[in-house]
Structure 1
Amino acid sequence: MITHPLTQFVLIYATLVCDVGRGCDVTQANKSNSKQDSIERAWSLLMEPSFRDLREFICGKEQEQMVFFRRLLVKSIMATDVNDGSLTGEDQKASQKAMGIIEKLVQASDGSHALQHFSVFTKWNKLLFKEMYLAYESGRATTADKDPSEIWYERELKFFDSRIVLAKQLQNCRVFNKVAEIYVNAALSNRREWEKTGRSIVKDYLSTYEGKSAVSDATL
């Protein structure tokens, strides 16, 4: 399990800046150079005088911490480039594994409410329903979008299925130790609860927001 605070922060920071400055025309041939450019752009920005307090908060005033931060940042970002031709054999396998773990972390954070207590899930799920339903009612959704209230129950069952698969993948990569087991159990439990009570929950959502498309975006 990753417990070192600076390592945890670097992993989050790397996912934010790994494609800084990258255009849509980047080909596979110069992808590695693009990653290196992203590192330099992000690092140059962080080194600006206006971010001195932030740097000290992250690494303190010890140079060793800053060196560790940059070295781990470079490794984390370059690990996402599995097509780097300079990597062969075991290095290629290690890079692929690192990228897979980073991707799973990002995916898990994107749907983390499904891996927590059911009350946490419904809290954020209701807010998402509100946003999408009011957009549909007000005509701001695309013409292809269906009434969310008609598909929400089945939609969330599929969402839980994907979260369960992800939680098991986190468990199998053996980085999260017993925490991954907690995620798996929470996702399974939440899916069972949603399967039993989800339809009535969606009705409650609908009764709360039906006919309220005039609500300002500020309340979303």
Structure 2
Amino acid sequence: MSVSKLLSRIVAHSSDRIDTCKCVASSLHDHTYGITSDPLTQFACILSALIHDADHVGVPNTQLVKEETETAKRYKGKSVAEQNSVVLSWEMLLRPEYCDLRGAIAATDAEWTRLKQLVVNSVMATDIMDKDLKGLRNVRWEKAFSEQDPSEDAHVTTNRKATIVIEHLIQASDVAHTMQHWHVYRKWNQRLFEEMYKAYKEGRSEKDPSEFWYKGETGFFDFYIIPLAKKLKDCGVFGVASDEYLTYAIQNRREWEERGEAVVDEMIEKVKAVWEEEAETTDTFVDEASVSL
């Protein structure tokens, strides 16, 4: 939904003087680096947002590599969950029953190749923990929006900027709860906490999230969420939506600083109560089974 919202908020630059529908389309094309005039790219963004966490097992890539899972081995420890999501989803899309759908999406082999490239690159952008990928994205951003090379082909420059915008669009979608109303942020933050606590209790994480959650979220806002929201604004493509995302991110950061410790205490209480209840249910089941025997 976040991707769809941002795509729908794409606007031409406020300084443009637009008098006709043709001028509107031309202005949007230039201002968004061709994204608004390319339905395949827009579809790739939506599809990537839908599939980017497909078959996610609730633990990070580092844990999958540590456990030496088959998936981690298959993808040689690089962007394991992300690559797995793309492959599974793409295989599903290629099933015979989706033949008509594929025909509606792309008509030629060239279009299918481009669609897959867009999807792969977009989903890989959600792996924010891979330092190599992060470094490459930062370099592309600097080259696209900070450095100016008048000798570079305009088409190459536009494509690079479009790629960067799409990557940040998908990244924002991945963590959109942090850039929405406090209650939305709290809802999904609670669920993430529960997921990570479950991994800890099951021995799939060395760290108890209750011990670092408050400081961890504070750092996440400072070093990832707010800088990401600022980049959405700086690229100049998304109009008031980028202002809205940045405003909510800053407000949630401020509210988390004030209320976060109490929120964490509340989450700990809830999740421990659930685990204690499940443990009691399991013990009762074992006792009843023993009596039956």
Fold match, TM over 0.5? Answer: yes
8 A contact 2:44–2:115 mirrored in 1 = no
Q: 1:90 aligns with which of 141, 154, 158?
A: 154
Q: 1:183 aligns with which of 228, 245, 260?
A: 245
Q: Indicate yes or no: 2:114 matched with 1:74.
A: yes
Aligned counterparts of 1:94 and 1:110: Cα–Cα separation in 2:
24
Shift in Å, 1:134: 3.1
- The alignment of Structure 1 onto Structure 2 pairs a total of residues equal to 180
Alignment of 1:128-207 (within 5 A): 128-136=192-200, 138-143=201-206, 145=207, 147-161=208-222, 162-207=224-269
Task: Kindly provide the amino acid, as one letter, of the partner of residue 155 in structure 2.
Answer: D
Task: Kindly provide the amino acid, as one letter, of the partner of residue 256 in structure 2.
Answer: W
Say if 1:197 and 1:9 are closer, same or farther in 2 by CA, change over 3 A.
same
Shift in Å, 1:52: 3.6
TM-score normalized with structure 2 length: 0.51
Q: Indicate yes or no: 2:148 matched with 1:108.
A: no
Aligned counterparts of 2:113 and 2:176: Cα–Cα separation in 1:
24
Task: Kindly provide the amino acid, as one letter, of the partner of residue 9 in structure 1.
Answer: F
SS at match of 2:236: coil
Cα RMSD (Å): 3.7
Q: Indicate yes or no: 2:114 matched with 1:51.
A: no
8 A contact 1:10–1:73 mirrored in 2 = no
Instruction: Decide which moves more: 157-166 or 4-13.
Output: 4-13
Q: Indicate yes or no: 2:75 matched with 1:11.
A: no
Q: Give per-residue Cα distances to partners, 1:140-193, cap 9 Å, x unaligned.
A: 1333x2x21121111111122211110110111122111111100110111111
8 A contact 2:45–2:170 mirrored in 1 = no
Task: Kindly provide the amino acid, as one letter, of the partner of residue 159 in structure 2.
Answer: S
Structure 1: tracts of 5 or more residues without a match: 18-22, 26-37, 60-64, 83-87
Say if 1:203 and 1:106 are closer, same or farther in 2 by CA, change over 3 A.
same
Q: Give per-residue Cα distances to partners, 1:109-165, cap 9 Å, x unaligned.
A: 2111101111011101111111212332x241333x2x2112111111112221111
Shift in Å, 1:210: 2.3
Task: Kindly provide the amino acid, as one letter, of the partner of residue 215 in structure 2.
Answer: E
Tell me the residue number matched to 2:69: none
SS at match of 2:212: helix
Task: Kindly provide the amino acid, as one letter, of the partner of residue 163 in structure 2.
Answer: M
Aligned counterparts of 2:154 and 2:269: Cα–Cα separation in 1:
57
Say if 1:71 and 1:6 are closer, same or farther in 2 by CA, change over 3 A.
closer
Shift in Å, 1:9: 2.1
In percent, how many aligned pairs have the same letter?
35
Say if 1:75 and 1:139 are closer, same or farther in 2 by CA, change over 3 A.
closer
Say if 1:50 and 1:75 are closer, same or farther in 2 by CA, change over 3 A.
closer
